[in-house]
Structure 1
Amino acid sequence: MKNHLKTHLIQKENNQLIIAGKTAKQIIAIAGGTPCYIYDANKIKKQIASLKSQLPARIHLHYAVKANPFPPLVGQIATWVDGFDVASHQELLLALSCGMPSHKISLAGPGKSYNDLAAAILSGAIINVESSLELTRIYGICESHQCKANISLRINPDFELKHSGMSMGGGSKVFGIDAELAPKIISSIDTDFVNFKGLHIFSGSQNLNQHALVETHNKTFDLAYRLLDQACVSASQINIGGGFGIPYFENDKMLPLSAITDNLSLLMSQYQTKLNNAEIHLELGRYLVGSGGVYLSEIIDKKVSRGKTYLVVDGGMHHHLANSGNFGQVIRKNYPVLLANRIEDSECETVDVVGPLCTPLDILARGVSLPLAEVGDIFAVLQSGAYGASASPQEFLSQPKLRELLL
């Protein structure tokens, strides 16, 4: 199997990978060793700026903190986006500590605890309500604290985002309130306890099909209008979700934006009056930070077993579960990988790259072509800025701690 490197994913100099203006070995020296994640702040800033320049001016770009909650990174992103979407009490505290105004923070999740709800209510963040019972619990907390909550209703739409890596809407879902039930719930909201802000409609993630996203945006705007019209209320904001994907695997192509942004401009014009000039929030995580991160580990052994060559590195699935194929992949596929200190060579070999764990699941790359490797070489996994460290079982088998670095 060939290594599916794409030239737009890498910057190199003297045959070495350059990240944030430095070589991998320089970064490792700064971090204090491997394994480590390195996040390129300037690359992420440019990604966000490029997207904002193409979006209609009236769309508010929000960062989904769950994609990468590394505090120094979130602190930087706070100055580049219009709001945060969080999925836990801890993420809410992080968002607040970064100086993001509470009314620009929304909290989602199907199983919010009392502490989650109380913290969001009292801080002034917006709660995306996922069930009738959750709404009743919010009333109780507000009555107890003599205050009002800011809420939106998360809607489980009657459609899904086609071609998504992970479906979040349509059919029976744990997420949100079924669309057909929403108008009655909205109409019955007790305004003594809550301020109704709007709707949250998130249909899917990791999508590289522009036509599917256009279709879903059309259905989302239409659904938002119909629900509000049936309930005879207006909204001040509507979160249309995200779903923009990035290329990971062989044959993946970058998501073309022009059709999507052109269509959003049309929808903003078409629905501006119908939705009473409600703010439209686009919630993205992976698309903003995914390409700005690299996972680095050092080759510590090389062995041949019955004709197959293995490179053993000091990092693995406990740090990068998604890359190992154990984070939702049905059939495991390789992320783009390379030797950071020697990207190309006249002589290459086909290898499996594995981690140090006592499990056959600890795979970083399978059947990839790399230059002839030696112990001490640096193995890099690209496209690793999202759902990496925080989405991995770092305590598994009590391996040494992972390092993270923002430059």
Structure 2
Amino acid sequence: MNQIVTPATPQHAPMTQFPVAGNILQVGGQPLTDIARQVRQHHGQRPFYVYDREVMNRQVQALREQLPAGIHLHYAMKANPMPEVVSHLAAQTDGLDVASHGELAIALGTGIDPASISFAGPGKSSADLRAAIEAGVIINMESSGELQRITELALQMGIRPKVAVRVNPDFELKTSGMKMSGGPKPFGVDAEQVPAMLQDIHQRELDFMGFHIFCGSQNLKSDAIIDAQNKTFALARQLADAAPMPLRWLNIGGGLGIPYFPGEQRLALGAIGENLQSLLEHYSDITCDSEVVMELGRYLVAEAGLYVCEVIDVKSSRGETFVVTNGGLHHHLAASGNFGQVIRKNYPVCVANRMTSDSMETVSVVGPLCTPLDILASKMTLPKVQPGDLIALYQSGAYGFSASPQNFLGHPEAIELVV
């Protein structure tokens, strides 16, 4: 008689970035319950995001230790544009990457050298371009039309702007959460069209810096990242050979992922760092006089953030228990599954004021919105929950507050704070 074996349910990677003391989650050296009390005192009963500077510092330090010294780290602000977060990471990294006039203003407000800021995006308005030219940042050009508009504005303003070509390569970052290259894309200039564009740039009063080659994001496979980086450097040399001017700047993108869902493990950086060192040496003809940039957003901030909401009600419905909170998809669209997930999966979740308990139960955590999509956790086993408890979602420092429909159904916005 064959024995039936039930496979184990995949577990989340251990969430060890925040310690626990007295059975309460600690953030920035404080019990989360104290932080929640302060938020409530000043803002009322509202959910909040809290970002820990020390966790960000550890992420940057880990990269510094594992990646070659020749790699410059840039923070991609779209992951989390909160000014306090941007200012902190501007001081920890080598530059910032922006994707709008609004982000540019925040970046310039940090006081860093504008030459260490780059501006990407396929739909830059004339106002965007004028602001970027005036500020002196590197503009990643995404089309021949944008090249023409930059040229016209530069002549009007009497400024020779710094420009780079954003390249849409003919390869992609395999197994990435979001593919940004390969095939027809709204982003960048197709690699086969770049040589002609380089000749065109040479005829204009523009300060050509180099290339931005970005393939994809949220990848947890070292082999896939290494493969894409190998192809990126090879393409950069091919395009540099076609350029009538030397390469001074090369943004190789990022793509480094973090574990969100059951079964995912943290990315091993060692092999990636070793391979990058080999690439810098092998392609020294284009890298020795160039600033080689790795652009990272999510990897630097996601693990440093928690989204915290309060339990309003606990109810049973036909055999299932629902924990109703004052937070939901309007504050954290990604955790609800409405930010690109085909099949909804749970973020790591905890009862922050009761991390462990002898009494556990399987519950679904939902928000206050009148839609069945308002789910923060589906059928997760947690310490027995009661009204007033704090539900915290890990991995919430990136694409949370700013990527969510805060005004949906008129509930109060979440609060953001840095500790």
Length-normalised TM-score, structure 1:
0.98
Who is 2:221 aligned against? Answer: 209
Letter in 2 for 1:259: A
Q: Summarize the Cα distance change of 1:276–1:344 in structure 2 as closer, same or farther, 3 Å threshold.
A: closer
Who is 1:260 aligned against? Answer: 272
Cα deviation, 1:295-353, whole Å, max 9, x if unaligned, reads 00000011111111000000110110000000010000000001000011112111110
Who is 1:59 aligned against? Answer: 71
1:43 shift after superposition: 1.2
1:9 shift after superposition: 4.3
1:277 shift after superposition: 2.2
Q: Partners in 2 of 1:50 and 1:19 — Cα distance?
A: 20
Cα deviation, 1:80-138, whole Å, max 9, x if unaligned, reads 00000000000001000001211000000000011110000011011000000010011
Matched, 1:115 2:141: no
Letter in 2 for 1:41: R
Correspondence 1:7-406 to 2 at 5 A? 7-32=15-40, 33-190=45-202, 192-275=204-287, 277-406=289-418
Who is 1:6 aligned against? Answer: 14
Q: Return 5+ residue gaps in structure 1 as ranges.
A: none
Q: Partners in 1 of 2:315 and 2:56 — Cα distance?
A: 37
1:193 shift after superposition: 2.5
Task: Find the residue that maps to 2:245 and give its secondary structure.
Answer: coil
* Cα pair 2:13 2:265 within 8 Å, conserved: no
1:5 shift after superposition: 6.0
1:275 shift after superposition: 4.2
* Cα pair 2:97 2:295 within 8 Å, conserved: yes
Task: Find the residue that maps to 1:367 and give its secondary structure.
Answer: strand
Q: Percent identity?
A: 50
Q: Partners in 1 of 2:249 and 2:149 — Cα distance?
A: 23
Q: Partners in 1 of 2:158 and 2:85 — Cα distance?
A: 36
Q: Partners in 1 of 2:247 and 2:67 — Cα distance?
A: 21
Q: Partners in 2 of 1:355 and 1:276 — Cα distance?
A: 53
Q: Partners in 1 of 2:229 and 2:291 — Cα distance?
A: 15
Q: Partners in 2 of 1:376 and 1:2 — Cα distance?
A: 30
Length-normalised TM-score, structure 2:
0.95
Q: Partners in 1 of 2:10 and 2:359 — Cα distance?
A: 14
Task: Find the residue that maps to 1:294 and give its secondary structure.
Answer: strand
Task: Find the residue that maps to 1:185 and give its secondary structure.
Answer: helix
Letter in 1 for 2:158: Q
Task: Find the residue that maps to 1:383 and give its secondary structure.
Answer: coil
Q: Summarize the Cα distance change of 1:231–1:3 in structure 2 as closer, same or farther, 3 Å threshold.
A: closer
* Cα pair 2:17 2:304 within 8 Å, conserved: no
Task: Find the residue that maps to 1:188 and give its secondary structure.
Answer: helix
Q: Partners in 2 of 1:131 and 1:197 — Cα distance?
A: 16
1:7 shift after superposition: 4.5
Q: Summarize the Cα distance change of 1:176–1:287 in structure 2 as closer, same or farther, 3 Å threshold.
A: same
1:52 shift after superposition: 1.3
1:366 shift after superposition: 0.2
Q: Partners in 2 of 1:7 and 1:275 — Cα distance?
A: 37
Task: Find the residue that maps to 1:319 and give its secondary structure.
Answer: coil
Q: Partners in 2 of 1:129 and 1:216 — Cα distance?
A: 22
Letter in 2 for 1:271: Y
1:191 shift after superposition: 5.2
* Cα pair 2:101 2:128 within 8 Å, conserved: yes
Q: Return 5+ residue gaps in structure 2 as ranges.
A: 1-8
Letter in 2 for 1:202: F
